[in-house]
């Protein structure tokens, strides 16, 4: 392959990766995106492989850079772009070295191990959790994402990358042996997914799977977080009353619908508590709650028996730095169903999602950024696949969604001014998964595998006396 051909291959991979990492990805492209880059890198010089990878990494930011810039500003976007360039440059270099020095049946695993390993380390260290993982590009491929119930998001990334690596080695090395293990792994993963997802809603000993009638309400007509809670309550109360009249048992409002100040918060809380008692319903509502001692991004849960609250545990850097961090999860039973509560960005973190293993349904007030409505809702939905529960998510400037424990979106609607969306939430699923019990064991194994394969490659090169 000539120089211009390799540059073109890197650009093609970068463009396809940009779509795969975008706010509205098309899942097949993620499987194909790395192939041209890997083929170009395998036959390139050491410096060339790094340069092609870095070019693809920079281009991969093309469709999401403006979104990041609107939220975080120019400097973070430049840092992310640089990190993408360095990461993809290093990955391409490692694949090229392994292809030259290690047996092809082993070298084919370098790319998936590195990509899944990077996602694992990022999820464990980033203030944004698993955001940016390639795994989220696959959320419309329902049978495939079932592997998350075994190995989490890194397992999804690993298998997608394994396919690309297998095809690249077949083209660049003509090594059919490199396809044997990947073929069996990919076929096994897809077979597992097909058999795991029930064709119909699963049954229980007492009959068909239960659903519960609920209403998701979002009011995009409000600017920011209003200080006048009465104005907000007056807008939401008729919708809550109407939902109760229609027999809805649970009403979920978005995140931070109003600011509750120290001198007036008790009256605001009591007003919603009174409706819950009088109508015998559950109301979940997010608020910027400021008691005397601190300020919390809080979700209140009101029922006829009283109320409880949950404090958000993962804040958006800078935008939510004035909030105190929550310290505990909230799990409770209501009418025979176990519920958990989390708020928006909390669901970007798989470790928090695992804390709720064993609940039937997660209730999630949220507030998105309009453009990320699809992606951010699907990030939350993957937590349900990983840990075995349904999710009802009500987002301002986003998507109102109900999903089951297999990641199937059962109902969804865009938010808008005075949106009230009646839904039927599933209340039975497969229960706690292997991933919920053992956590990111697979992800950390990919880190170890990447280190092992790179070490093997270095030793093999030295023994063979290979230069550039």
Rounded Cα gap, residues 147 and 245, in angstroms = 41
pLDDT exceeds 80 at position 230: yes
In percent, the amount of the chain with pLDDT more than 70 equals 97
pLDDT of residue 205: 40
Average pLDDT over residues 67-88: 92
Rounded Cα gap, residues 438 and 156, in angstroms = 16
pLDDT of residue 293: 86
pLDDT exceeds 50 at position 300: yes
10-57 pLDDT, tens digit each: 999 999 999 999 999 999 999 999 999 999 999 999 999 999 999 999
Average pLDDT over residues 68-94: 93
pLDDT exceeds 70 at position 468: no
pLDDT of residue 196: 95
Q: Which two tokens stand for residue 242?
A: 């109407």
Please, which pLDDT band fits residue 185 given cuts at 50, 70 and 90?
very high
Rounded Cα gap, residues 362 and 385, in angstroms = 12
Half-sphere exposure of 3 (CA within 13 A, CB side): 3
pLDDT exceeds 80 at position 204: no
pLDDT of residue 207: 42
Rounded Cα gap, residues 388 and 410, in angstroms = 16
Please, which pLDDT band fits residue 359 given cuts at 50, 70 and 90?
very high
Rounded Cα gap, residues 402 and 391, in angstroms = 6
The phi and psi torsions of 75 (rounded to 5 degrees) equal -60, -50
pLDDT of residue 467: 60
- Lowest-confidence segment of 102-106, 287-291, 336-340, 461-465 by average pLDDT: 461-465
168 or 71: which leads in pLDDT: 168
115-146 pLDDT, tens digit each: 999 999 999 999 999 999 999 999 999 999 99
| Burial class of 165 by CB neighbour count within 10 A (0 to 12, 13 to 18, 19+) | buried
Average pLDDT over residues 184-198: 96
């Amino acid at each position: 392959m000539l120089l211009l051909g390799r540059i073109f291959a890197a650009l093609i991979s970068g463009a396809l990766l940009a779509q795969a990492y975008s706010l509205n990805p098309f899942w097949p492209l993620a499987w194909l995106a790395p192939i041209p880059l890997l083929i170009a890198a395998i036959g390139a010089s050491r410096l060339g492989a790094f340069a092609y990878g870095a070019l693809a990494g920079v281009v991969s930011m093309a469709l999401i850079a403006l979104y990041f810039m609107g939220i975080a500003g120019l400097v973070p976007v430049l840092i992310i772009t640089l990190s993408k360039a360095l990461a993809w440059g290093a990955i391409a270099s490692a694949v090229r070295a392994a292809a030259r020095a290690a047996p092809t049946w082993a070298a084919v695993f370098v790319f998936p191990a590195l990509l899944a390993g990077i996602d694992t380390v990022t999820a464990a260290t980033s203030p944004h959790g698993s955001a940016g993982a390639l795994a989220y590009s696959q959320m419309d491929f329902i049978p495939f994402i079932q592997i998350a119930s075994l190995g989490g998001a890194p397992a999804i990334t690993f298998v997608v990358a394994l396919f690309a690596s297998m095809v690249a080695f077949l083209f660049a090395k003509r090594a059919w042996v490199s396809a044997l293990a990947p073929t069996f792994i990919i076929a096994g993963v897809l077979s597992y997914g097909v058999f795991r997802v029930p064709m119909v809603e699963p049954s229980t000993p007492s009959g068909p799977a239960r659903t519960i009638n609920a209403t998701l309400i979002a009011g995009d007509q409000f600017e920011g977080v209003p200080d006048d809670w009465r104005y907000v309550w007056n807008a939401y109360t008729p919708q809550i009353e109407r939902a109760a009249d229609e027999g809805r048992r649970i009403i979920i409002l978005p995140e931070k619908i109003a600011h509750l100040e120290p001198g007036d918060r008790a009256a605001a809380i009591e007003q919603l508590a009174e409706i819950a008692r009088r109508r015998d319903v559950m109301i979940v509502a997010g608020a910027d709650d400021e008691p005397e001692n601190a300020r919390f991004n809080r979700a209140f849960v009101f029922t006829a028996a009283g109320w409880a609250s949950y404090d958000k545990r993962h804040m958006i850097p800078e935008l939510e730095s004035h909030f105190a961090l929550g310290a505990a999860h909230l799990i409770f039973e209501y009418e025979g169903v176990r519920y958990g509560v989390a708020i928006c960005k909390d669901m970007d973190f798989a470790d928090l999602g695992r804390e709720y293993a064993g609940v039937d349904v997660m209730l999630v007030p949220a507030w998105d950024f309009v453009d990320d409505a699809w992606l951010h809702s699907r990030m939350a939905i993957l937590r349900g696949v990983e840990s075995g529960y349904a999710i009802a998510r009500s987002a301002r400037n986003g998507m109102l969604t109900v999903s089951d424990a297999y990641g199937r979106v059962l109902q969804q609607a865009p938010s808008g001014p005075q949106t009230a969306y009646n839904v039927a939430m599933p209340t039975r699923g497969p229960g706690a998964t292997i991933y919920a019990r053992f956590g990111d064991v697979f992800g950390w194994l990919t880190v170890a595998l990447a280190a092992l394969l790179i070490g093997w490659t270095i030793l093999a090169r030295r023994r063979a006396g290979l230069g550039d």
